[in-house]
């Protein structure tokens, strides 16, 4: 393993262990394939898809914990591959000798999954994969079956805000009815497990919040002879918002630019196609991103506006 594979493997193992402990599972519970008695060899295969690269994940029992990352984007950058479903994509890779069939032999069936690929933040995808894997195993465990409630629980909006993303500060801090209405629609979709609807709406919310942030600096732009419309254009895109954030007075660095681009990449993938990969973890990612934008940028812009 190279250094990157080693770091990600440690991250995966810690994530899995934390989920076991958080949910009060015994670390030697045989319902969980990566318990303390088992060693696993994970594979992470990167291929192209119709609109953005994806990961194929799977695992096999091994004498030691390992992670192998296979980057096959160059070999799969063709429509004959990207238009196939996931099962046929694997068959294509084997039949064209892009990967060896032996690395799939004896794979653990429940370990197979796909995730979106993020160039600069791979931990997002690896974290989502481990969560999916654990949740799949947990649902099949006796602990899950004996603790199922007899009735469906509907989470109140305010409880959701406070316990998950602390949106109460955001709601009280943004005096824009349209934004709050849009957020509440996303919350409704989330609470009803409509992940595609929630994630699609979150993309618009992120743009809206970035617009409100830039708008709070209108006086700054006027002082420097800059019109806000010249930054955003008549029909602003994600690139326009990021460009606005790269300029004074916000002036984000490359790392923060990559983070915002990651959020838009997730939004764009959802907007163009839905193959079933859109799920709760992706909604959580975008909601966390929205709160980060609020805390890191909007709050400062509001203080600037109120100081005038």
H or E stretch covering 206: helix 195-216
Alpha carbon distance 280, 195 (integer Å): 6
272 pLDDT higher than 50 = no
The ranges assigned to domains in the chain are 3-146, 157-306
The residue among 120, 136, 150, 108 whose CA lies nearest residue 281 is 136
Q: Which residues pair with 69 in a beta bridge?
A: 44
Q: Of 46-50, 126-130, 168-172, where does mean pLDDT reach its minimum?
A: 168-172
Q: Give 131's contacts (C-beta < 8 A, 6+ positions apart).
A: 15, 19, 281
Q: Of 13-22, 172-181, 188-197, 296-305, where does mean pLDDT reach its minimum?
A: 188-197
DSSP three-state, residue 276: coil
The 10s digit of each residue's pLDDT in 194-207 is: 877 888 888 899 99
291 pLDDT higher than 80 = yes
- What value does the mean pLDDT of the chain take? 83
**pLDDT at residue 119 in the model:** 76
Alpha carbon distance 206, 179 (integer Å): 10
The residue among 44, 61, 62 whose CA lies nearest residue 53 is 44
SS (H, E, C) 143-180: HHHHCCCCCCCCCCHHHHHHHHHCCHHHHHHCCCHHHH
Instruction: Give percent of the chain above pLDDT 90.
Output: 38
Alpha carbon distance 100, 105 (integer Å): 10
DSSP three-state, residue 299: helix
pLDDT (average), residues 103-125: 87
pLDDT (average), residues 255-282: 70
251 pLDDT higher than 90 = yes
Q: What is the DSSP letter of 297?
A: I
Are residues 41 and 60 in contact, defined by beta-carbon separation less than 8 angstroms? yes
Considering only residues 80 and 149, tell me which one the structure prediction assigns the higher pLDDT: 80
Q: Which residues of 112-127 are buried (b: 16+ CB within 10 A; e: fewer)?
A: bbbbbbbeebbebbbb
Considering only residues 200 and 75, tell me which one the structure prediction assigns the higher pLDDT: 75
How much is the CA Rg of the chain, to the nearest whole Å?
22
The residue among 38, 39, 56 whose CA lies nearest residue 47 is 56
The 10s digit of each residue's pLDDT in 160-192 is: 433 455 677 788 889 898 998 898 888 888 777
């Amino acid at each position: 393993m190279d250094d990157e594979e080693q770091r990600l493997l440690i991250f995966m193992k810690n994530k899995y262990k934390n989920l076991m402990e958080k949910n009060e599972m015994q670390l030697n519970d045989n319902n969980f394939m990566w318990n303390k008695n088992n060693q696993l060899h994970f594979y992470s295969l990167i291929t192209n898809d119709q609109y953005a690269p994806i990961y194929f994940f799977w695992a096999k029992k091994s004498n030691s914990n390992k992670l192998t990352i296979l980057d096959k984007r160059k070999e799969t950058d063709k429509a004959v591959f990207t238009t196939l479903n996931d099962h046929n994509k694997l068959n294509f890779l084997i039949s064209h000798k892009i990967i060896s069939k032996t690395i799939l032999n004896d794979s653990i069936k429940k370990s197979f999954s796909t995730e979106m690929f993020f160039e600069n933040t791979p931990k997002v995808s690896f974290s989502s994969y481990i969560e999916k894997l654990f949740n799949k195993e947990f649902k099949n465990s006796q602990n899950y079956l004996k603790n199922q409630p007899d009735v469906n629980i509907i989470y109140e909006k305010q409880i959701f805000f406070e316990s998950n993303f602390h949106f109460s500060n955001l709601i009280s801090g943004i005096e824009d009815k349209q934004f709050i209405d849009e957020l509440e629609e996303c919350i409704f979709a989330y609470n009803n497990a409509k992940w595609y609807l929630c994630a699609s709406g979150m993309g618009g919310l992120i743009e809206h919040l970035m617009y409100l942030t830039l708008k709070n600096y209108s006086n700054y732009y006027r002082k420097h002879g800059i019109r806000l419309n010249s930054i955003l254009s008549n029909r602003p895109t994600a690139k326009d918002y990021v460009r606005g954030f790269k300029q004074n007075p916000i002036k984000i660095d490359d790392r923060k630019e990559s983070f915002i681009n990651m959020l838009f990449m997730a939004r764009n993938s959802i907007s163009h196609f839905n193959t079933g990969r859109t799920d709760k973890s992706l909604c959580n990612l975008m909601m966390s991103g929205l709160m980060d934008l609020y805390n890191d940028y909007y709050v400062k812009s509001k203080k600037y506006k109120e100081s005038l």
